[in-house]
Amino acid sequence: MTTDDLLARHRAVLPSWMPLYYAEPIEIVSGSGRRVTDAQGRSYLDFFGGVLTNMIGYDIAEVREAVRRQLDTGVVHTSTLYLIRQQVELAEKVAAVSGIPDARVFFTNSGTEANEAALLVATNYRRSHQILAVRNSYHGRSYAAMGVTGHRSWSASALNPLQVSWLHSGDRLRGLLSRLGPEEYLDAAVEDLREVLATQTAGDVACLIAEPIQGVGGFVAPPDGLFGAFKKVLDESGILLISDEVQTGWGRTGDHFWGYQAHDVTPDLLTFAKGIGNGFALAGVVGRAEVLNEVHATSFSTFGGNPISTAAGNAVLDYLLAHDLQANAARVGGILLAGLRKVARRHGIVGEVRGRGLMIGLEFVRSGGTEPDPAVTARVFEECKRGGLLVGKGGLYGNVLRMGPPLTVTESEAAEALGILAEAVAVADV
């Protein structure tokens, strides 16, 4: 079967709103470490990791063996109406590393479901459907999760079951707060929060949901300490804080295990997904018992936390901690950021290099200014593929290259990726 045949079949049976990367889409048929191979036999260094999901790489023996042991029992699924040893063990580990006291964990299949669950819990706990969310954010593709997504490209419907009030994003290139220094930004953002609460809400707000680093939004982050400053205001009214750690969790930022830890705060709830399953469908929400227990009806997730996915999750988390991959993210991420900033100094089309650890974005603009340039971004994107490097795209204007390689990436692979990226940017800067 050729890729062209598969592409035609894809277009014949799948919806038009499901995007495919590249002018000539690829089918990935195998992988090992940080490299994947397509159906034509071409090898690529993968620096997007299934959208930050293949967190420890491909074909990891420890994960493979953990899943095989569970498969060998003949039990793939029992539902959460029965005790699931793998689920309990993983919940214990997640609760222990969450930083949340007296934590409880509810497993789902995706980050979207995790955020839906967190919103359900928060609105039940506060008896309010009023939500604070952040502009340029992304929280999922379901009804309520989409309702708190502040990114027009990903908002497929204007209908919303929640009453949402919007706070400023951490964009430092454009926007009302972009011209401010870190301390001034914090003061202005807190003042804005107080004004929003006073003018746009009835006071009894359920929660603020926010990403420490906005993923789909182009790896945009506010100054450190913002969540902590917000929490002081939220606590005055008992408003909960939900930290969406679907992309920032598990040590990816290098400096911290969770993104929220850069802000001198502990959230009431945090959501996780993607990397913990390393490709297996696994996500969830963790929070204080008094909050997470606030569901006064029978509820469970049919497949969330099933024996197979949690077997994988236990192996992934054990591997992550045993190999200190957070430290690797800090070290190799630092190399990448330093190298990319050198590239940026040579090319006016790079408006900003930003990120933390192995969560890195390059924003492309009209040379010398701040006007977004999605066309040049697309050229760099295609040139990276031509050079053997897979990266992602994002940002409100589609002008940000996103990199979230597996946390096992090596220094030599970082140097290889930098070479390919530097050449791609040079080719596009004409």
Give the CATH fold of the 3-60+324-428 domain.
Aspartate Aminotransferase, domain 1 (3.90.1150)
Q: Which of 60, 28, 61, 62 is nearest to 45 (CA)?
A: 28
The radius of gyration of the chain from alpha carbons, rounded to an integer in Å, stands at 21
pLDDT at 2: 62
- Mean pLDDT is lowest, of 32-41, 75-84, 119-128, for 75-84
Query: What does the pLDDT read at residue 267?
Result: 98
CA distance 57 to 46: 9
Backbone angles phi, psi at 242, to 5 degrees: -110, 120
* CA–CA distance, 68 with 64 (Å, rounded to integer): 6
% of the chain surpassing 70 pLDDT: 99
| Two tokens, residue 108 | 């789902």
Domain with CATH 3.90.1150.10 in the chain: 3-60+324-428
Q: What is the pLDDT of residues 183-233, one digit of tens each?
A: 999 999 999 999 999 999 999 999 999 999 999 999 999 999 999 999 999
pLDDT tens digits for range 404-416: 999 999 999 999 9
Does the pLDDT value for residue 391 go beyond 90? yes
pLDDT at 184: 96
The CATH number of 64-322, from 3.40.640.10, 3.40.50.300, 3.30.60.50, 3.40.50.2000, is: 3.40.640.10
Strand-pair partners of 160 = none
Q: Amino acid identity, residue 256?
A: H
pLDDT digits (tens, 9 = 90+) for 55-65: 999 999 999 99
3-state helix, strand, coil in the chain (%, to 5): 40, 20, 40
Residue 3 pLDDT grade (very low, low, confident, very high; cuts 50, 70, 90): low
pLDDT value at residue 127: 96
Q: For residue 153, what pLDDT band results from cuts at 50, 70 and 90?
A: confident
* Residue range(s) in the chain whose domain bears CATH number 3.40.640.10: 64-322
Residue 2: Cβ-neighbour burial (10 angstroms; 0-12, 13-18, 19+):
exposed
Question: pLDDT exceeding 90 applies to what percent of the chain?
Answer: 91
Query: Three-state SS across 63-78?
Result: HHHHHHHHHHCCCCCC
Using the predicted structure, report yes or no on whether residue 179 has a pLDDT greater than 90.
Answer: no
Residue range 156-170, pLDDT digits in tens: 777 889 999 999 999
Q: What does the pLDDT look like over 238-296, one tens digit per residue?
A: 999 999 999 999 999 999 999 999 999 999 999 999 999 999 999 999 999 999 999 98
Please name the residue ranges forming H helices in 301-365.
307-322, 325-346
